[in-house]
Structure 1
Amino acid sequence: MSKPDFFPTKTQPLLVRLVQSIAYWVGRFKYQLRLRVSEVDLGKIRALGDARIVFMPNHPTFDDGLVMFLLSAQLGEIFNYLVAYENFTDQLAGFLQKSGCYSIRRGVGDRRSIAHTLELLKQERSRMVIFPEGGCSFQNDAIVPFRTGAIQLPMQAMQAITKQEGAFPPCYLVPISIKYRYLKAPETIIQRSLQNLEEKLQITPATTDPYQRLRGVAEVVLQQLETEYQLTPDPDDDWNGRIKQIRNSALNLCETQLNLSFPDDFPLRERVYKMQALLIEKASGEPSLGLENDEILYQTTVRLLNFDAIYDGYVGAYPSHERFIDTLTRLEREVFRVEIPKPKGLHEGWIRVGKPLNLQDYGAQYQGDRQGTILQLTEAMQYEVQNNLLDMIYHP
């Protein structure tokens, strides 16, 4: 039986309430994760009453969906979640749908998902979770640019209601900043991860300094990638120049093999999502002689997303335990070929709720300048999320 192109929500409130009642224990013991959110931040959400709400969290890890579910349990609310199509496996699809999730096929203009989003947003007391980065950034306190579609869809839904009812209803965009902190022996986690990587790469560290050991691992990974893509780095290039060259080579390989081309200013993530959609479509069709090559190409697209936002200086600028672990996790994904590494230890997902923004206040402006208004609101959401993340570094 072929996999459906779209998985709509099939929310079962009783099941959601049951799972919410045990969510703390599941998070704590299965995922080694718990939520930390203040009553002040919860109060910002509760103060919005029955108005429609679209939560817009950053997306640093694969744990973020669970963090938002734990938030829903704290609030006693049932959320809908826009979730990447790839997560709807045979084992998980039914549970995800019954829990309020529905699929989005990134890179293909998923009309059924868009229509379903608009339908859900039009419902009274709608509670929607959309990750505006479009995918994991793998960075604990930095974000990648927000996609305008996350704002466009709620505005479009409210415009449709306005045409039907003659009045623009309240609908709040709520910026959510998620940041993780490790609670037990983060130094031990870092040492263990470094040791595992060094053993795999056959590195004998010349120092006990964790940061220098991290750079030693990263240097070997860079060299291996340069060898794979037959690159000779310019002696004058710093690490960021070398990373960019590797990224471009991987991107060019995929585009050439798939016979695709994009404008120079087309964002990397959007290119990758389109390539992944094409590869998934090919894999779901008749088996071909190129199946093994397609798998290699797909793994290359995973590599591109893994290293999309990485840069030299991320750890050095602020050598927190979490930034160390962010970078080590990226390296583990590359070296051990694992998409989702196992939890490294007990950690908290800290939530900071930013200033809610009511789309109702921008209805008239949108009529006069649709593109400009959406861009303005997107930038405002992105700024609020990023600013709160930075504030959480110094004022936890």
Structure 2
Amino acid sequence: MSATTETPGFYPIRLNPFLVWFAQTLSLFATQWRYKIDLQVELEDLEQLRALKGHRRLLLPNHPTFQDPIVIFLLSAKLRQTFYYLAAYETFKGLLGRFLQSVGVYSIRRGIADRPSIAYTLDLMTQSDCCLVIFPEGGCSFQNDTVMPFRVGGVQLAFQVLSRFSRRGEDIPNFYVVPVSIKYRYTQDMTPAIQASLHQLETQLGLPGTGNHYERLRAIAKQVLVNLEKEYGLHTSQTTHQPWNDRIAILKSHVLQECEQYLSIKSTPGEPIRERVYRIQYVLQTSDELQETNIRDNQEPQSENSWTPATVQKAMFRLLNFDAIHDGYVAENPTPERFLDTLTRLEREVFAIDQPSPKGHRQARVKIGEPLNLKDFFEEYQQNRNHIINQLVANIQQTVQTNLNQLS
């Protein structure tokens, strides 16, 4: 696909059409057993996607769980089409990484401008029948009903592809951006699962477990918040009287600033937390960067916390886990899904596990939004690039959120 296919530190697609067919066929049955997920999508939505076959397509789904790529793969299986997927560099380890490359997945290093991945994406998008999937939130939100701000990168690259045609004096081709909403619904009574999770967390935290489910959930969340404040030197008699959302914001800001100071990293004002986290993680994972900043486990701490690469990595895990969380998420709509969204987050923190086991069987409900043809916006893009990109991405994000609200 270009010289970037052999670039060190980059994993390109190594498509195996037979393996794609076999995995798609198997996935329609195996995901019910392995991941306890069934895909539910309306026929008219499938037909809407089928009608775009033969054109360039960029699918932009929300990302509430780690299982979302599996759901989109199930969607490709329903259509009997091959999708391409952009995934975090860290995913490509061992046999799993080679399998992912074989079914259409390639890597990107988050936290930096990954030039090989960007060049590869542009070449991929140039192909006339390319269907590329990018999760524009940049990572899991761990929230079933809401979306985090969408990144503009996918749409930006798509317009750059159209610009290539323009510079060559060729006709501007169709390039469809498709909003995709994923929402999960448990198919059975989840009261036993909620009770079991509450009890396990209360036992681990030494809490009495009194009150109704919501009161117990808040008691667990409060204890976790207090423990984190104490660990990072922020818990005082004054903080207990502050609103939870203020305390959460202060905690996030403090941890980020401390870690960036430790790693000698500068952030841009207003930069999203997730982007700052990814940059920190990249520095930790890159030996050259570690040598340049002289980070060592036995280095003298630069703050009241004894920061080491290990404690910074743990802090980044926490920031990603709690990035989208806010007080009131469950109270606004106390569904089993919202309860278990929050309990799963708390389990990840309290038990230090990346992916807790599925709580029960779920339907993954997918809604396809109205596709936007970037060709129709290309002249405006040439006049005011940033404005058009930001406007389109905001519209796509709103479409995804609106469709989430409508999914029952």
TM superposition score normalised by structure 2: 0.92
- One of 226, 234, 242 as aligned partner of 1:237: 242
Give the superposition deviation at 1:320.
Answer: 0.7
Give the structure 2 partner of residue 102 of structure 1: 106
Q: Give the aligned partner of residue 9 of structure 1.
A: 13
Contact 2:64 2:143 in 1 (8 A): yes
125-134 or 239-248, which deviates more:
239-248
Q: 1:33 aligns with which of 32, 37, 41?
A: 37
1:1-396 matches, cutoff 5 A: 4-164=8-168, 166-207=170-211, 209-231=212-234, 232=236, 233-282=238-287, 289-290=296-297, 293-392=308-407, 396=408
Query: Given residue 339 of structure 1, which amino acid in structure 2 is its aligned partner?
Result: D
Q: 2: distance between equivalents of 1:281 and 1:311?
A: 32
Residue 235 of structure 1, CA deviation: 4.5
User: Deviation string for 1:3-39 (max 9, x for gaps)?
Assistant: 9510000111111001101102221111111211110
For residues 285 and 181 of structure 2, the distance between their equivalents in structure 1, rounded to whole angstroms, comes to 32
Matches of 2:289 and 2:22 in 1, distance apart?
A: 35
Distance, in Å, in 2 between the alignment partners of 1:28 and 1:366 is: 44
Contact kept? 1:106, 1:273, Cα under 8 Å:
yes
Deviations 1:250-303 (A, max 9, x none): 112211211122133121111111111111113997897428921211111111
What is the identity, as a one-letter code, of the residue corresponding to 1:11? Answer: L
How many residues matched? Answer: 390
The question of whether the paired residues in 2 share the 8 Å contact of 1:190 and 1:325 is answered with: yes
The 8 Å contact of residues 122 and 161 in structure 1, kept in 2 or not, is answered as no
Q: Which amino acid aligns with 1:89?
A: K
| AA in 2 matched with 1:217 | I
Does the CA-based 8 Å contact 1:143-1:386 persist in structure 2?
A: yes
Bigger mean CA deviation after superposition, 257-266 or 107-116: 257-266
2:168 counterpart SS class: helix
User: What SS does the corresponding residue of 2:94 show, helix, strand or coil?
Assistant: coil
Q: 1:4 to 1:213 in 2, by over 3 A?
A: farther
Q: Secondary structure at the match of 1:204?
A: coil
Deviation at 1:49, TM superposition (A): 3.4
Pick closer, same or farther for the CA change 1:33–1:90 going to 2, 3 Å: same
CA contact (8 A) 2:177 2:372 kept: yes
Distance 2:290 2:77 in 1: 40
Q: Secondary structure at the match of 1:362?
A: helix
Q: Which amino acid in structure 2 is aligned with residue 230 of structure 1? A: G
Distance in 2, Cα, partners of 1:49 & 1:11:
19
Using the alignment, how far apart are the partners of 1:285 and 1:276 within structure 2?
Answer: 11
Tell me the amino acid that sits aligned with residue 258 of structure 1: L
Contact 1:162 1:169 in 2 (8 A): no
| Runs of 5+ unmatched residues, structure 1 | none
Q: Which amino acid aligns with 2:297?
A: G
Deviation per residue, 1:139-179 (Å, 9 max, x gap)? 10101101111210111112213333611100100000000
The aligned counterpart of 2:304 is none
**Inter-CA distance 4–191: structure 2 relative to 1 (3 Å threshold):** farther
User: In 2 relative to 1, CA 260–373 (structure 1 residues): closer, same or farther, beyond 3 Å?
Assistant: same
How far apart are the structure 2 equivalents of 1:17 and 1:328?
37
| Partner Cα distance (2:354, 2:348) in 1 | 6
CA contact (8 A) 1:181 1:347 kept: yes
**AA aligned opposite 2:281:** Q
Amino acid across the alignment from 2:337: E
Structure 2 contact 283–290 (Cα < 8 Å) conserved? no
In structure 2, list runs of 5 or more residues that go unmatched: 1-6, 299-306
**CA shift for structure 1 position 223:** 1.0
Q: 1:283 to 1:141 in 2, by over 3 A?
A: farther
Cα distance in 2 for residues equivalent to 1:241 and 1:284: 33
Query: Runs ≥4 in structure 1, deviation > 6 angstroms?
Result: 283-288
Percent of pairs identical after alignment? 44
Q: Which amino acid aligns with 2:78?
A: Q
Query: Secondary structure at the residue paired with 1:92?
Result: helix
The answer (yes or no) to whether the contact 1:174–1:355 under 8 Å persists in 2 is yes
